[in-house]
Structure 1
Amino acid sequence: MTLAMAWVRKGAGGVDELVTVSDSRLNGGGRNFDCVPKILPLKRNDSIICFAGETDFAYPLMLQLSLAIEGHFPAVSRAVDMTKIAGFTIRTFNQMLKEIDPYVKGQHVPKTEFILAGYSWQQKSFKIWRVIYNKGVNLFELKPCSVWHGPFKSIAFAGDWAREAEKQLYRLMTDRYGDIRILKEGCLDMEPFEVLRNILRAGKRHDTVGGAPQMVKVYCYPNARPVGIFWPDRAAERVYLLGRQLLLEEKNIDFWQLNPDTLDVEHPLHSRTATGAGAA
């Protein structure tokens, strides 16, 4: 399965940004494949879709959605707002469900879910939805994410480790800030990433999550950019981008790279380092 999270945080200069993270493992048939991209930036460049669950359902749905957006100029140019893309996503997925021909009983049920998120230029804010399958009506449904525990802005969890991750996030926030339910104001920073990092570092070979963490940020300019992760730590000198270890000839790739412990970021093409909880 997967652990994926998407949330709104305060970025550099106090400006909101959207962060999506995931593990990188697919497993089954007695093997782990730990370099699989699970977060797909959509061609509009203001949004992402991320999956958890069975890949044979998830990948065709995600890729067809991406191709549909790319092929429709009002959608790819962002003339169509992100809130309309959310409805288009559901219609696309449900139309594709009709093409499934289950010649083995029960094989028509998608055991997968998605996080869809992006920036709405009409509402001037980030939007996060969970896309889940409703077995009773044999349709995908859209579930908007609301605030999380008092003043914190919305966060979505997906995957079989979602409940455990939410428990760990609540404990981490409570340890740092006290009773977060009574705070008058607050904003998640990089704490969800810290939870994912800790789960992956403590992981075992037979766990359903594993590999390096992967991250994509969406900024309100708008722009969607993957972030490289030094893994398992900065000292290892290995950078992973969307779950894959970069080759030596990719050392000057044009992406920010995150230290998973200090949360500082650096860029191989620039001399400066941005400090403070993933500041880039």
Structure 2
Amino acid sequence: MTLCTAWVRQINNTDELVFATDSTLTGGEKWDHGIKLFELPRKDCLLCFAGQTGRAYPLILNLVSSLQFNKLLENPETSISEILNHVSELFTSLIKTVVSEIRDENIHELRGSARFLFGGWCWQSNSFRIWKLYYSEAAEGFLFDELTSDSSKTRFYTFMGEAKNIDIEKDAKDRFRLMLLEEDSLDSKLDMEPLRVLRDIAVDSSIREVGGSLQIAKVYKSGKSEFFGIYWPSIKGNPCFQGREHNEYNKPSVRYFSPDTFDITDLELPERLAEITEVTFKHDTEFMRECYPEGEIRGELSDGDKQKVKTILKEIAYARYLQELNTDGEVDE
């Protein structure tokens, strides 16, 4: 059981594909530290699942192994659609070997107890593409439907999940639409709205099957993917990565989101700077004034500009700290 989402984020005049899921595994028990979002040997695509863990994990592990040792499929010049066909054929061949040992058990329900979202960057169509993979009783195998085939749509998002006593996909979509309506952004480009919906459901204790820290990854137009950590359940919590909780000393070297704002914590900046003078900022004065017109941070700063601002502020703070140490030393003498 789970809830996962995928969407094309449109920000700072560029697009990126985002996948995210919760970390809860259930099935006679509840465990909030399960990996549900998978990095593949091909770095231009991602895979996540909803449904029975015991069905999904063997299929995914077989897929990772098959891609790792197939030079053709591992080659980034091979179309992502060929990877998709491989996934479908592999899952179908494996699922047909499942044998029920329980009398009168429906073999098709057994085979189809997990669904998948697969997607990535397609260099041939110069676009992000996402598919839903599912078991078909009629075909006795895994089929796929493309969710990004409608070129008339100006934005894309999807939710996929399962939970008892609630239609979790409908609930997520209803929350999403209500959020856009309340924020008067029905026609706006998507930023982190689907992730905010996933967060709200994950911290909702009434929904047992969705919980734990969020797992987040992106695919860029460069054909590269990046996995992120998150502080959970708030910025005051511990850093988590792929469902596992860490501390500040042993956390993996990835970038981390704040679940409160969904900004990268390493790139959080002050909203205001009282004075931007050449005495303080020297040769960076003009750049800082561009980033903080009239002392207020500019609405859309690129990650590169944010990193530069943070570096400048750190250097100034460190220089002042050294100056204070020197001053204290002179006083002590």
For normalisation by structure 1, the TM-score amounts to 0.87
Which amino acid is 2:171 matched to?
A: E
Pair 1:193–1:230, CA change in 2 (3 A): same
Kindly indicate whether the alpha-carbon contact (under 8 Å) linking 1:189 and 1:277 is maintained by their aligned counterparts in 2. Answer: no
Kindly indicate whether the alpha-carbon contact (under 8 Å) linking 1:263 and 1:278 is maintained by their aligned counterparts in 2. Answer: no
Q: Secondary structure at the match of 1:132?
A: strand
Name the residue aligned to 2:112. Answer: 110
| 1:260 CA displacement | 1.0
Name the residue aligned to 1:46. Answer: 44
Question: Is residue 143 from structure 1 mapped to residue 145 from structure 2 by the alignment?
Answer: yes
Q: Secondary structure at the match of 1:234?
A: coil
Q: Secondary structure at the match of 2:43?
A: coil
Which amino acid is 2:84 matched to?
A: A
Structure with greater helix share of residues? 2
Pair 1:120–1:278, CA change in 2 (3 A): farther
Pair 1:175–1:169, CA change in 2 (3 A): same
Name the residue aligned to 1:133. Answer: 135
How do 1:40-189 and structure 2 match up within 5 A? 40-104=38-102, 105-107=105-107, 108-146=110-148, 151-160=153-162, 161-177=168-184, 180=186, 183=187, 186-189=188-191
Name the residue aligned to 2:222. Answer: 221
Q: Secondary structure at the match of 1:159?
A: strand
Greater RCO between the two (CA within 8 Å, min separation 6)? 1
Question: Equivalent pairs: percent with the same residue?
Answer: 29
Distance 2:148 2:77 in 1: 26
For normalisation by structure 2, the TM-score amounts to 0.74
| 1:147 CA displacement | 7.5
Distance 2:263 2:201 in 1: 20
Question: Is residue 258 from structure 1 mapped to residue 257 from structure 2 by the alignment?
Answer: yes
Kindly indicate whether the alpha-carbon contact (under 8 Å) linking 2:175 and 2:197 is maintained by their aligned counterparts in 1. Answer: yes
| 1:151 CA displacement | 4.4
Distance 1:75 1:138 in 2: 25
| 1:77 CA displacement | 2.4
Cα shift readout 1:97-147 (whole Å, capped 9, x = no counterpart):
121122222244321100001111111111111111122332211011147
Distance 2:301 2:215 in 1: 13
Gaps of 5+ in 2: 163-167, 271-298, 304-333
Provide the aligned C-alpha RMSD in A: 2.3
> Matched residue pairs, number?
265
Pair 1:198–1:152, CA change in 2 (3 A): farther
Q: Secondary structure at the match of 1:52?
A: strand
Name the residue aligned to 2:5. Answer: 5
| 1:28 CA displacement | 2.3
Q: Secondary structure at the match of 1:250?
A: coil
Kindly indicate whether the alpha-carbon contact (under 8 Å) linking 1:190 and 1:278 is maintained by their aligned counterparts in 2. Answer: no
Kindly indicate whether the alpha-carbon contact (under 8 Å) linking 1:258 and 1:278 is maintained by their aligned counterparts in 2. Answer: no
How do 1:30-45 and structure 2 match up within 5 A? 31-45=29-43
Larger radius of gyration: 2
| 1:14 CA displacement | 1.7
| 1:203 CA displacement | 2.2
Kindly indicate whether the alpha-carbon contact (under 8 Å) linking 2:50 and 2:116 is maintained by their aligned counterparts in 1. Answer: yes
